[in-house]
Structure 1
């Protein structure tokens, strides 16, 4: 009996502590207590992740539910808006994911409470996705430009470019939860100015004719007329930017039969003889007169050796490719636009630029006159005593040419342009030999 009693006492001591420990670990844990490990069978009531309820779920059930919930969230579209342009992009495309481990730790530590989701963004993936999605919004800047239409300066204004600020979009998505992540985001853009502005082009605009001159020619001299028209056509619609210098020879090019020029009278050794390109000097002389009337500076110019008939002395400009050239500079802030017009018997050169209040005229003063000689040349092909005039005589002159400028107040200033010496053109007669 004593042995049996000892055994019963021992059993009672073993059973009672076990029951007491069980009551302490479960029955005395109120709602404020936090589970110490995932060995618990389930999450407590009132456990939420954003709006997702996880109350009473086992570890595996909770994890599976969270993963499914994350997939649904990542498949949702975010609307990116710029003016009337709307672009949809999923959260998954933006590289947004749930910080699962961090969230799970918070859930177990705060079981029975509401926990906010924690997100992370793959910035590389997000940048690439946004650049591809929003490429239609980016726009390269378009420089201002101009055209000349019917002798009018027409400006095409500059168009600023724009670039989406991808980093600014990502900043709006940082430190957000699924619950607070915006459904719609205004797309921020930055304006990119054009390199060539409208104001810069406006400074180049011309507003009218600043210099014009017309000379006459003999349409019956077909070769000369053809050369004149060809050179005038090469010069026509030439544009000279501010600070640039125009070279007549470079603009017109070589005068050869291969370039389409014909034989016509030219001046060699003070005599009129047949040569390639005759008539081109009338174009350069007409241009020169228009240029000086436009009050532009002359860089290079040469007078003819003798007086010519189609333009006043001191206003001519002889050229000979590539040695003798006519050059002038555009010293204005606007561009210069050259127009030539060839009508039967008339050549006109007009210079378009920015008009001023100045009035320009030219004056010539003859400093000296020189008589011509009569040269007799025997011609055995003529009958004895027969006389034919090959070249009319013309006096030589020393001439000073002035440019007179009158401003808006009526004050005049006079500038010496040139002091030109023209040799006499001798009268040349062919006489039949006895």
Structure 2
């Protein structure tokens, strides 16, 4: 019995806290708020902070004071030799107190490295404020058109400070190995519209051109033609855009400056507002065909007209009859119109392809015109006045002939048009 009692006493002493040297287990770590009188053993350090022999509350107070001193120190953020001092505390750095508290009491008599944590929200906010001067927005490439030349102003890439790379240097650190200076890096930010994109869109020359002539002495018709041509001038079509003649030129009204000139109604030339506009649309149509652009909408005149070959005309009448063609290329199409006395020229600028285009017409049928005689009591007996010359009617096929850089030909049927004969109209004095 005596031997058993001795063994029990020895076992009790072995499991009693403080009776044997060694490290405490986690269940023996005092609470942070504990008023325990336990003391840390000699040789217990937190980084360079000596905590030997201090009781729980003393340890807590000393660490807090030490932390405040450490966090009041500055870090230097350096970007391109420019130094920006920032307090550690401002960057959301703090001790991971709960973690190091457990380490101190379970590894007494040893040196424990401090463990830091970072409030990333606060850190990003402060870094953004302090380093905003080094951020630079990207500048998109832009262009101007001068003297029918597409001039590109190159893009300028932006930059943005890499805040995450700064924060990475605080992770898994102690106060001892926390850097006093951090080199700030910035990432390049590309422009939304790059120089290369504009180079793809840029036009480099004339891809379609056509000229027609008119009677400059017919002032009203010349005025209408000039107004419409000026409305069309400098129109820019992006890839995929469809041009509408009516939308571009607008409604032809006296209020818009348009005057009465001859138009075709019921196969006769009669005065009407905007006469002469169709010469602009017909010239534009021919230039668009020669530019090898797809025609979306086009109508021939009811009768053959004199200022352009058969099959190359395009009548318009706001808002019902329109001329439309599409930019199916990868570059801009730029339209220039030029009106000189008696001469209208329309040029389409785009990206040259090495192809050439021409028209080819094939007359399928001709129809003679009739002569219409009308009695005019205001004329002398037997007197004859011709109000309208007669012209034959035609059925015509029009082709677009495309030749590539190797000389190979592609013949495409564009249209088959029917033009009614234009009657000769005579006024005759009554007998």
Q: Sort the TM-score into its range (normalised by shorter chain).
A: 0.7 to 0.9
Q: CA separation in 1, counterparts of 2:419 and 2:49?
A: 106
Q: Which residue pairs with 1:97 in the alignment?
A: 94
- Matched-pair contact (CA < 8 Å) for 2:40–2:108: no
Q: CA separation in 2, counterparts of 1:312 and 1:168?
A: 71
Q: Which residue pairs with 2:120 in the alignment?
A: 123
- Matched-pair contact (CA < 8 Å) for 1:384–1:431: yes
Unmatched tracts of structure 1, length 5 or more: 1-31
Q: Deviations over 1:339-360 (max 9, x none)?
A: 1112222111111111122222
State TM-score, norm by structure 2: 0.80
Q: Quote the offset at 1:39 in angstroms.
A: 6.1
Closer, same or farther: CA 302–177 of 1 in aligned 2, 3 Å: same
Q: Which residue pairs with 1:278 in the alignment?
A: 275
Q: Deviations over 1:248-291 (max 9, x none)?
A: 22222222223332211101111111101111100000011111
State TM-score, norm by structure 1: 0.79
Q: CA separation in 1, counterparts of 2:421 and 2:192?
A: 58
RMSD: 3.5
Q: Deviations over 1:100-147 (max 9, x none)?
A: 676678778888876544433233322322232233344455554444
Q: Which residue pairs with 1:377 in the alignment?
A: 374
Q: CA separation in 2, counterparts of 1:58 and 1:79?
A: 36
Q: Which residue pairs with 2:292 in the alignment?
A: 295
Following superposition of structure 1 onto structure 2, how do residues 227-376 of structure 1 map, counting pairs within 5 Å?
227-376=224-373
Q: CA separation in 2, counterparts of 1:173 and 1:41?
A: 31
Confirm or deny that 1:219 pairs with 2:216: yes
Closer, same or farther: CA 242–110 of 1 in aligned 2, 3 Å: closer
Closer, same or farther: CA 316–103 of 1 in aligned 2, 3 Å: closer
- Matched-pair contact (CA < 8 Å) for 1:43–1:58: no
Q: Which residue pairs with 1:152 in the alignment?
A: 149
Question: Which residue, 78, 83, 98 being the options, matches 1:81?
Answer: 78
Closer, same or farther: CA 86–316 of 1 in aligned 2, 3 Å: farther
Confirm or deny that 1:397 pairs with 2:401: no
Secondary structure of 1:278's counterpart equals coil
Unmatched tracts of structure 2, length 5 or more: 1-21, 31-35
Q: Deviations over 1:17-69 (max 9, x none)?
A: xxxxxxxxxxxxxxx999x999699996x876545678899999987776555
- The structure that has the greater radius of gyration is 1
Aligned residues: 402
